[in-house]
Structure 1
């Protein structure tokens, strides 16, 4: 009887872990093709294209034909803490955005900066850049909560100090809000190498971008990316102090309260450096893990079946993903107690080989490119270890909402060429 319970535990954990990473992407692709929107989510589009290529072409035509008079007023809000090395380049990038004169305000919200950040921002006051300086470091969530009500734009673009937006990104994000049902628009973040400026989007990032596209077509996109997303100011739900992953909680709280749609625009592009070290990347993932478990308590009503596709994507893509470390531990523990059975002796050998490959992956060189596939187990195990640690940090209350600036190169972000739509890049 005990062995039966262990067998059930093992196969259940295997199924749930496989579901969130393998089965769910297949299902969401099928559902997006069967039930997703076929016309670009842009109310300026009046035609009914029949193919993906036609959709992109019509979307481009709609963008090109967008009269400036119909674009909303925008507020670009950049939260910063001790960003003297990057803030000037970020402001110059913001000032270069292609948006009608008089319709874009640029605001830097400085969260208790103790370096030269505030002085640098003040130098741009004559060019219309506003500084909201807060004396205490309270965390990004508190800064956003206090700053958004002080903005003048109908739509707020939220971004980071180390993010550089493509010149047309603001215009692309804003054009979507001609549809009154749309409340949040998430742009595409391109990761770049800190030293070369080259696109270093990895397999996992491409995998996540694929999921965003499918979920967006179903009207079930989950959150945004803090580097580049826009929200109607009237729908900004406020954000509790101490919220760890505000870019996830804010959009979904807006949807929970208003029923608005959250969409993804892969052509509204921003660039950002990758973390310079594996340690910095692991620390970032621990923080995201803690924030994920925190957000379940904030957003659990979205799991109600009445929320349709959102409930399905939230459970499958997020909740099960965050719980995956415990599925892996459950598999390992149950398997260890079932070794007398030849089947489970074989599954244990498979697990041992997988974790051995993950360990070896730490020492594999970056070239040739084919070796990156052998590093996938390393990335998978590292990510789940970070989620597990994040869970315990959240339980112990050791993951606060204040931020620790990630070290970056002094050169800043070098923008690679943005390929035109349809180039296949």
Structure 2
């Protein structure tokens, strides 16, 4: 066996091992570590008159289709009205979003309208300068909160060590309103719970999370995944705890089109590579579980497209062995199946387990595209709104789902 062939074998099995670790070994390891070393803590008991002042911040760009429902939902939050405000920061809107907001008659609603589009990160930076709440709950324009969500987030801040609290996002089908939490989303939620119990939660969910206003630091205007960078920068600079609160629930529809979902994932991928340059200190082994989680759950996951390509390319040079001919056949079959399943009707229930292959392939393809967009600098801090579909039953259906599945 010559040195080139030996190198190809190393490339193949190294790639296979790292992909296996990221998607299979890491979840088992973090589950075991959570069982062995978790610090399970309940939120402090806080009465209504002890709750901190609160600002619900929504950053929006051209959201005339959903902004009325979103603000009405935010104003209806179960929180003392004398200690809460709803702030909508408009990033260069060119549709009717501003005029819809001007139709509200509430002293608790403030609108910050920035005429020049500057991107979500810069809008966040400017908006934080105008907020009055000790605690800021960040959310999206296409999100709906459970009435008690803000209160469930805020009560954790009675503990001075807590700096960020991440809520739980429930996904719905845009047409039927039915819960569509896929196996992959449940898998990600499971990882959040395990990491949270170890004090190693990585970032938050942009649909629903809260941060102490004093811990917010302005982020670069080119930041693509602010809900990942903002919490972890706060942790780096203050050492605060990031807590996961599964009973603080938000509801959101999935993108109506596969192309929209792919663009979203590619943007997240570009943001992931971008964030390594900002958050690389989290990889310091002295940071304990945080370093382990950041490496296993994020960095290696973002690099998986290259491991997969390395496996495929090296396999082509090893076809003299039956083992590697079988390996190549299995890889081609997997990718072929993922493409085939993508075109099957969603009503075909027997195909649902196989849709994981499509999810895996699409996610890694999007990460690969995201890497090149980051490298070439083609992604900017501005964002294109995701197409929405009418969802008359989504919130009621998901609230019923939450009531039947919540844990405390």
Q: Contact conserved, 2:170 with 2:249, CA < 8 A, in 1?
A: yes
SS in structure 2 of the partner of residue 197 of structure 1: coil
How far off is 1:369 after superposition? 2.9
Once the 2 structures are TM-superposed, how far is the Cα of residue 413 of structure 1 from its aligned partner?
7.1
The answer to whether the 8 Å contact 2:177/2:392 transfers is: no
Per-residue CA deviation, residues 308-327 of structure 1 (Å, 9 max, x unaligned), is: 11000000000000000000
Structure 1 distance, partners of 2:267, 2:159, is 35
Paired residues of 1:82 and 1:405 also in contact (CA < 8 A): yes
Q: Kindly indicate whether the alpha-carbon contact (under 8 Å) linking 1:80 and 1:109 is maintained by their aligned counterparts in 2.
A: yes
1:126 is matched with which residue?
A: 106
Matched, 1:420 2:400: no
Would the aligned equivalents of 2:217 and 2:230 in 1 still touch at CA under 8 Å?
Answer: yes
1:391 is the counterpart of 2:391? no
Q: Is the 8 A contact 1:192 1:413 kept in 2?
A: no
Please give the secondary structure, in 1, of the residue aligned with 2:89: strand
Matches within 5 A, 1:19-418: 19-40=21-42, 42-44=43-45, 66-411=46-391, 414-415=394-395, 416=397, 417-418=399-400
Q: Distance in 2 between matches of 1:356 and 1:423?
A: 38
Distance 2:128 2:239 in 1: 20
* Residues 61-93 of structure 1 deviation map (CA, whole Å, 9 limit, x = unaligned): xxxxx3111111000000011111111111110
Matched residues in 2 for 1:411 and 1:192: separation? 9
Taking the aligned partners of 1:69 and 1:127, their CA distance within structure 2 comes to 20
| Aligned counterpart for 1:13 among listed residues 12, 15, 18 | 15
- Secondary structure class of the residue paired with 1:420: helix
Change (3 A) 1:423 1:280: closer
User: What SS does the corresponding residue of 1:150 show, helix, strand or coil?
Assistant: coil
Deviation at 1:38, TM superposition (A): 2.7
SS of 1:126's partner is coil
* Alpha-carbon contact 2:78-2:150 (below 8 Å) kept: yes
Unpaired runs of 5+ residues, structure 1, are 45-65
Shift of 1:127: 3.8
Deviation of 1:421 (Å):
7.1
**Alpha-carbon distance in structure 2 between the residues aligned to 1:137 and 1:206:** 35
Deviates more, 1:358-367 or 1:228-237: 358-367
Secondary structure of the corresponding residue to residue 129 of structure 2: helix
Alignment CA distance shift 1:320-1:168 (3 Å):
same
- Contact map agreement 1:76 1:105 (CA 8 A) in 2: yes
Report the secondary structure of 2:29's partner residue: helix
Q: Provide the TM-score with structure 1 as the length reference.
A: 0.92
- The CA deviation string for residues 115-152 of structure 1, in whole angstroms up to 9 with x for no partner, is 11111112225342100000111111000011112100
Q: Which runs of 5+ in 2 are unaligned?
A: none
Runs of 4+ in 1 over 4 A off after TM superposition: 421-425
* Contact 1:84–1:117 (Cα < 8 Å) also in 2: yes
Contact 1:75 1:157 (C-alpha < 8 Å) held by counterparts: yes
Q: Secondary structure of the residue that 2:87 maps to in structure 1?
A: strand
User: In the aligned structure 2, how far is the partner of 1:258 from the partner of 1:182?
Assistant: 10
Residue of structure 2 in register with 1:60 after alignment: none
Task: Return closer, same or farther for 1:97/1:332 CA change in 2, 3 Å cut-off.
Answer: same
Cα distance in 2 for residues equivalent to 1:226 and 1:374: 29
Q: 1:54: which partner in 2?
A: none
Q: Would you say the 8 A contact 2:176–2:393 is kept in 1?
A: no
Cα distance between partner residues in 2 of 1:119 and 1:424:
40
SS at match of 2:371: helix
Deviations 1:365-408 (CA, angstroms, capped at 9, x unpaired): 22343321111111111110000000001111101110111111
Q: Which residue of 2 aligns with 1:50?
A: none
**1:200-250: CA deviation from partner (whole Å, max 9, x where unpaired):** 111110000000000000000000111100000011122110100000000
What TM-score comes out, normalization by structure 2 length? 0.96
User: Given that residues 92 and 115 in structure 2 are in contact (C-alpha distance below 8 angstroms), is that contact kept between their aligned partners in structure 1?
Assistant: yes
Cα 1:306–1:106 change in 2 (3 A) is same
Q: Note the C-alpha offset of 1:424.
A: 7.1
Cα displacement (A) at 1:423: 5.7
